[in-house]
């Protein structure tokens, strides 16, 4: 069928075929609202998953979706070289009244050249009767015929028993008959699917243990997250005897999503001591999670277990000082193990210890410079009392630290402001326009630039860039990628319990990117435009630092 | 201590004191990176939680954080009237070497006037010795002294046993001695905390059952989400015997967060048939989740279990067509039960039923006016596609409904705009000024007014009032009391971080008060000033409606 013997078992993982980490990001994950993978995206996702060392990559449903058919064709033509994973095609059993070899959908599974096929079959009698409009005997025949046919063609076969848990509760005999039809015909794994996602961990563990005891079959688990328990359910199933776990990257999937691959693998490896991944791959968990979010064009979940940017971020001063003494007391594990890092959030609750830890995190050694730490703590406290917040604005905090360290020139913006003016008009014809003029000194030269924008900050940003890019052409690569606004009561709520309306203080967070990395800066002022300006200025100062200073190599 | 007997048990819930839904959004939830509640925010959060019917609202740590001290003071002064929940103050036990009555932190707990106190205590011997630098006996004395003192002062006391699961694994006797010290001294609940969040559901269930068996104490559970299992862990603990569950709204919390209140309650109510909430409150789950996200200024998680906008959204063609035949086969529950809706297409969000229900809530009878309902649904859908959101802007929604009902004159603002202009200048002397000019027709008279403000919206608000107050002196009583800004990707997809910088769509929520009540209006535009203008105009139209229309009596 293909030139070299296609792999049907995981390669290079300590447990080999004894345990399957089975990824269905490219099929079930693609059901998530907002995801639309191109074929090139799918190939890139598969390469990342293979680098992580999952055992199986379910590439899609050939014959049902043209993009999936093409994905398998391009993979078979050599565009996808897998080092660890076996490629899987997903599809349904033959239709009622057709033989398997004549069913075009089954044919498409063969044509995909995938060495492994996962067949989905109904195992809930209500679905068999009401959705499929057939009976249990014919449903089981559809399963066993299709499995036999594919086995005869040299394929390894797994069975996804759809709606298994609901079906088992409603009519256990039917549910078990479907598994038996598949395994007797040669399927290697019977995957119990919580398709509607309504299960809880203890219930999952009970059913998996019971089915394992009654059948002796090799069992897999596939959980949806409708109760917020997909990860817990998957792990509980493994503890109850499942040796094949289906997940998606970052939990992408229909409705509330699927079990998150990274959390499931993180738990099995660190909590249950199962060596699932190839040597060195576990430390790639965070990077690969973020890369797959990038391909899906979904902002990474900052609070995701194990891999989120905040997963090891500590805010409470109480904890921060104790962490310095003994980090292992305040994290469930060492974040470096999954390629993540501990972060200390410098906030009103924080003290010297957090500033030192933060400095070390940013590569600045403040440990031997108590006077610098004092100055930074003082500046941070003063600014936070005015409404500044540095916990999400590392770049602004680094500029403060560098300035306190005497790196003043590096921390300064690449220009001096003389003045700016922004005009917003709602004209009599109903059109709304924004226009900004900036007057700045750049390398001693006075530059005046005027630009329009669809809002005051957009116009100001455009005008500032127009003034700077003649001498700083690299600024064209720097873009604002996010912009957040928060209105605050001045001086803390205590002083103004009432009436903090339009005369309140505004905090603006600006995220910038130069396509090599991203950084966040902050500005605070009573005027939202001036607050935005301050954050923009920090953003450009930091961009210059990235280009010429200590970040240049990064 | 306070004038009326303060509530120490949940009121109006079917299970009463037999089961505690305990919310710690205002304390542990506030540890989430990016959350910074004002005192007014905290009061608003508490009111929403009370409306949902949680049994306990942990308001903060009085004495440790000035904002929390003020929150309790304002609550005690009558600003927080709770119908269902009891208010809880959180704090630590007395310090080593001080008596409880002399410890200022313990005093602050009393001074808060909260009827219930949750004390946090260390239960892991390593933390007692390495972080607290004391021994187990003194740690237990600190616990029992503080509990006894607070009980003697008439407080109900719960104990949060910090790092319990890690501690119990390391040295079970020490962990149990700490619980015993608390319960013997009068604490009603011993809450087992997975502070570092490293547990899995089966392990949690095993320990909870074992501790319940060994002690006979009433147990609570508090889970962090570092394994992605906080919800599953919390539910497993309840199944193993815990009768008090600590959660935060939307799972807000430090690092990966806490157990999500809405998922935990959703699971306990729908999967374990526990009637936890007051009559009718369960259908408010989705609305309250989104309102609390709004207050936290965090975009709601569209894929959150039960309450996410996508939680019942089906994309798979296979499912979508089958759902039409038999919806119950493809959802784990009826989404309406939690006030959510099933969605097959992205635009099918606002339903007729919800508009009718909302109308009834606002005192408008739309049941017999199908054409009015259609018009409102159409308007809401169109606006929501552009980024408007009426979930937190009842006043704007009421204006749309009244307009559709033919109450056009009542729903219109008390003027016609010709044009406005706002100028923001950062002058060469460093002073930042904002100035606005409005030209409006009021009762057929053309009025031109210019005012300064400390920001563009403040200046615009001042100028508009200057033009209107000569003929509408009652406007002087109307004030903006809050102002929130959110940047959105055009088309409403909060998930695409690419390129939604300063050129994104801005949504502004304005809260106004006339000291007889408060109302919220919304405006959306690419330009933040125009978005604010739209919300201001609605705010004044609604103010007029309150004065002359059906709200005049309210």
Tens of pLDDT, residues B309-353: 889 877 544 444 455 556 677 788 888 888 887 654 323 334 566
Burial class (CB in 10 A: 0-12, 13-18, 19+), B368: exposed
Q: In what helix (H) or strand (E) does residue A419 lie, and over which residues does it extend?
A: strand A416-426
pLDDT at A449: 96
Cβ within 8 Å of residue A326, ≥6 positions away: B130, B131
Q: Which domains does chain B have, with CATH numbers?
A: 16-278 (3.20.20.70), 313-405 (no CATH), 416-548 (3.30.160.270)
Enumerate the residues of chain A whose CB falls inside 8 A of the CB of residue B428: 418-419, 439
Q: Which of B65, B330, B424 sits opposite A456 (nearest CB)?
A: B424
More confident residue, A200 or A294: A200
pLDDT at B411: 67
**Strand arrangement of the beta sheet that strand A445-453 belongs to:** A445-453, A432-442, A416-426, B416-426, B432-442, B445-453
More confident residue, A410 or A18: A18
More confident residue, A364 or A524: A524
- Whether residue A306 contacts residue A271, with contact meaning beta carbons closer than 8 Å, is answered with no
The DSSP call for residue A75 is I
Whether residue B303 and residue A225 make contact (CB cut-off 8 A), yes or no, is yes
% of chain B with per-residue pLDDT over 90: 61
Enumerate the residues of chain A whose CB falls inside 8 A of the CB of residue B510: 501
- Residue B197 near chain A (CB below 8 Å): yes
Q: Which of B236, B260, B511 sits opposite A201 (nearest CB)?
A: B236
Query: Nearest CA of chain B to the CA of A48: how many Å?
Result: 21
Instruction: Determine the residue of chain A that is closest to B335 in CA distance.
Output: A226
* pLDDT tens per residue, range B456-500: 998 999 999 999 999 999 888 888 877 778 777 543 333 333 333
Q: In what helix (H) or strand (E) does residue A151 lie, and over which residues does it extend?
A: helix A136-152
Enumerate the residues of chain B whose CB falls inside 8 A of the CB of residue A332: 196-198, 226-227
Enumerate the residues of chain A whose CB falls inside 8 A of the CB of residue B480: 499, 501-502
pLDDT at B54: 98
Answer yes or no: is the ipTM higher than 0.90. Answer: no
Q: Which of B65, B329, B495 sits opposite A298 (nearest CB)?
A: B495
- Residue A314 near chain B (CB below 8 Å): yes
Assign B409 a pLDDT band (cuts: 50, 70, 90).
low
Instruction: Determine the residue of chain A that is closest to B254 in CA distance.
Output: A314
More confident residue, A424 or A412: A424
- Rounded to the nearest angstrom, the gap between the alpha carbon of residue A126 and the centroid of all alpha carbons in its chain is 36
- CA–CA separation, A93 and A96 (whole Å): 9
Whether residue A502 and residue B493 make contact (CB cut-off 8 A), yes or no, is no
- CA–CA separation, A34 and A295 (whole Å): 12
* Pick among B28, B41, B227 to test the A interface (most A CBs inside 10 A): B227
Please tell me which of A372-381, B61-70, B347-356 the model is most confident about, judged by mean pLDDT.
B61-70
Q: What count of other Cβ atoms lies within 10 Å of the Cβ of residue A40?
A: 12
Q: Which of A197, A426, A453 sits opposite B533 (nearest CB)?
A: A426
Q: Where are the alpha helices (DSSP H) in B405-554?
A: 408-411, 456-468, 528-548
Cβ within 8 Å of A, B 14-33: 31-33
Which pair of structure tokens corresponds to residue A172? Answer: 């256990």
* pLDDT tens per residue, range A55-100: 999 999 999 888 899 999 999 999 999 999 999 999 999 998 889 9
pLDDT at A1: 42
pLDDT at A153: 96
- Whether residue B39 contacts residue B56, with contact meaning beta carbons closer than 8 Å, is answered with no
Length in residues, chain B:
554
Cβ within 8 Å of residue A553, ≥6 positions away: none
Which residue in B538, B547, B537 sits closest to B517, CA to CA?
Answer: B547
Query: Nearest CA of chain B to the CA of A382: how many Å?
Result: 16
Which residue in B32, B109, B100 sits closest to B68, CA to CA?
Answer: B109
pLDDT at A482: 75
Is the pLDDT score of A164 beyond 80?
yes
* pLDDT tens per residue, range A236-284: 999 999 999 999 999 999 999 999 999 999 999 999 999 999 999 999 9
Q: In what helix (H) or strand (E) does residue B50 lie, and over which residues does it extend?
A: helix B39-52
Compute the radius of gyration of chain B from its Cα atoms: 26
Enumerate the residues of chain A whose CB falls inside 8 A of the CB of residue B227: 231-232, 235, 263, 266-267, 271, 305, 332
Whether residue B428 and residue A419 make contact (CB cut-off 8 A), yes or no, is yes
Query: Nearest CA of chain A to the CA of B400: how many Å?
Result: 21
Q: What count of other Cβ atoms lies within 10 Å of the Cβ of residue B275?
A: 13
Whether residue A527 and residue B432 make contact (CB cut-off 8 A), yes or no, is yes
- Residue A529 near chain B (CB below 8 Å): yes
**pLDDT (mean) for A154-179:** 97
- Residue B465 near chain A (CB below 8 Å): no
pLDDT at B34: 79
Which pair of structure tokens corresponds to residue A129? Answer: 């009767």
% of chain B with per-residue pLDDT over 70: 88
pLDDT at B354: 64
pLDDT at B364: 82
Can you tell me which residue has the tokens 């929403």? Answer: B48
- Residue A481 near chain B (CB below 8 Å): yes
Enumerate the residues of chain A whose CB falls inside 8 A of the CB of residue B236: 200-202, 232
- CA–CA separation, A468 and A448 (whole Å): 10
Which residue in A521, A531, A518 sits closest to A393, CA to CA?
Answer: A521
pLDDT at B490: 42
More confident residue, A224 or B301: A224
- CA–CA separation, A509 and A520 (whole Å): 7
More confident residue, A55 or A347: A55
Is the pLDDT score of B430 beyond 80?
yes
pLDDT at A52: 96
- CA–CA separation, A129 and B362 (whole Å): 45
Cβ within 8 Å of residue B520, ≥6 positions away: B392, B393, B394, B395, B396, B509, B510, B511, B512
* Pick among A390, A420, A455, A488 to test the B interface (most B CBs inside 10 A): A455
Instruction: Determine the residue of chain A that is closest to B477 in CA distance.
Output: A499
- Residue A133 near chain B (CB below 8 Å): no
- Say if strands B432-442 and B445-453 run parallel, antiparallel, or are unpaired: antiparallel
Query: Nearest CA of chain B to the CA of A322: how many Å?
Result: 6
Q: Where are the alpha helices (DSSP H) in B53-116?
A: 66-74, 104-111
- CA–CA separation, B80 and B74 (whole Å): 7
The crossing angle, in degrees rounded to 10, of helices B66-74 and B39-52 is 60
Which pair of structure tokens corresponds to residue B464? Answer: 């508009």
Please tell me which of A162-171, A342-351, B2-11 the model is most confident about, judged by mean pLDDT.
A162-171
| 3-state DSSP assignment of residue B405 | coil
Cβ within 8 Å of B, A 433-462: 434, 439, 453-458, 461
Whether residue A502 and residue B453 make contact (CB cut-off 8 A), yes or no, is yes
């Amino acid at each position: 069928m293909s030139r070299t013997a296609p792999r049907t078992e995981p390669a290079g993982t300590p447990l080999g075929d004894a345990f399957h980490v089975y990824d269905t990001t490219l099929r079930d994950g693609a059901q998530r609202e907002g995801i639309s993978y191109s074929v090139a995206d799918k190939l890139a996702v598969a390469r990342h998953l293979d680098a992580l060392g999952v055992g199986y990559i379910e590439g899609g449903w050939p014959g049902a979706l043209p993009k999936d058919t093409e994905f398998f064709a391009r993979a078979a033509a050599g565009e996808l070289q897998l080092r660890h994973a076996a490629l899987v095609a997903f599809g349904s059993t033959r239709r009622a009244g057709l033989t398997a070899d004549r069913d075009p959908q089954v044919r498409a599974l063969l044509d995909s050249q995938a060495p492994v096929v996962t067949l989905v079959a109904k195992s809930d009698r209500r679905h068999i009767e009401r959705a499929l409009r057939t009976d249990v005997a014919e449903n089981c025949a559809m399963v066993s015929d299709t499995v036999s046919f594919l086995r005869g063609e040299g394929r390894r076969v797994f069975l996804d028993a759809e709606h298994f848990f609901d079906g088992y509760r409603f009519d256990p005999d039917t549910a078990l008959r479907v598994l038996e039809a598949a395994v007797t015909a040669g399927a290697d794994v019977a995957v119990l699917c919580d398709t509607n996602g309504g299960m809880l961990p203890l219930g999952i563990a009970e059913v998996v243990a019971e089915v394992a005891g009654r059948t002796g079959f090799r069992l897999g688990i596939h959980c949806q997250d409708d109760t917020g328990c997909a990860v817990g359910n998957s792990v509980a199933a493994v503890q109850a005897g499942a040796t094949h776990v289906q997940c998606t990257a970052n939990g992408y999937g229909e409705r509330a999503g699927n079990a998150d691959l990274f959390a499931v693998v993180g738990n099995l490896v660190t909590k249950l001591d199962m060596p699932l991944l190839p040597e060195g791959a576990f430390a790639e968990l965070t990077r690969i999670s973020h890369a797959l979010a990038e391909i899906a064009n979904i902002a990474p979940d900052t609070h995701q277990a194990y891999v989120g940017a905040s997963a090891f971020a500590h805010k409470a001063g109480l904890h921060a000082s104790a962490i310095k003494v003994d980090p292992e007391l305040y994290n469930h594990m060492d974040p470096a193990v999954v390629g993540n890092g501990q972060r200390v959030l410098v906030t009103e609750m924080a003290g010297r210890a957090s500033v030192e830890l933060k400095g070390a995190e940013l590569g600045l050694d403040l440990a031997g410079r108590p006077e610098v730490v004092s100055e930074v703590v003082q500046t941070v406290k003063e600014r936070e009392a005015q409404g500044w917040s540095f916990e999400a604005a590392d770049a602004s905090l680094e500029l403060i630290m560098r300035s306190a360290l005497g790196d003043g020139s590096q921390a300064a913006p690449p220009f001096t402001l003389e003045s700016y003016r922004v005009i917003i008009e709602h004209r009599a014809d109903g059109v709304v326009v924004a226009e900004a003029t900036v007057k700045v000194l750049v390398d001693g030269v006075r530059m005046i630039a005027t630009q329009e924008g669809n809002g005051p900050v957009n116009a100001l940003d455009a005008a500032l860039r127009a003034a700077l890019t003649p001498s700083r052409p690299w600024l064209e690569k720097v873009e604002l990628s996010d912009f957040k606004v928060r209105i605050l009561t001045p001086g803390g709520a205590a002083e103004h319990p009432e009436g903090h309306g339009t005369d309140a203080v505004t905090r603006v967070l600006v995220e910038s990117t130069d396509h090599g990395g991203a950084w966040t800066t902050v500005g605070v002022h009573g005027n939202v435009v001036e607050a935005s300006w301050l954050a923009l200025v920090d953003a450009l100062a930091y961009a210059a630092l990235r280009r010429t200073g200590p970040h240049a190599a990064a």
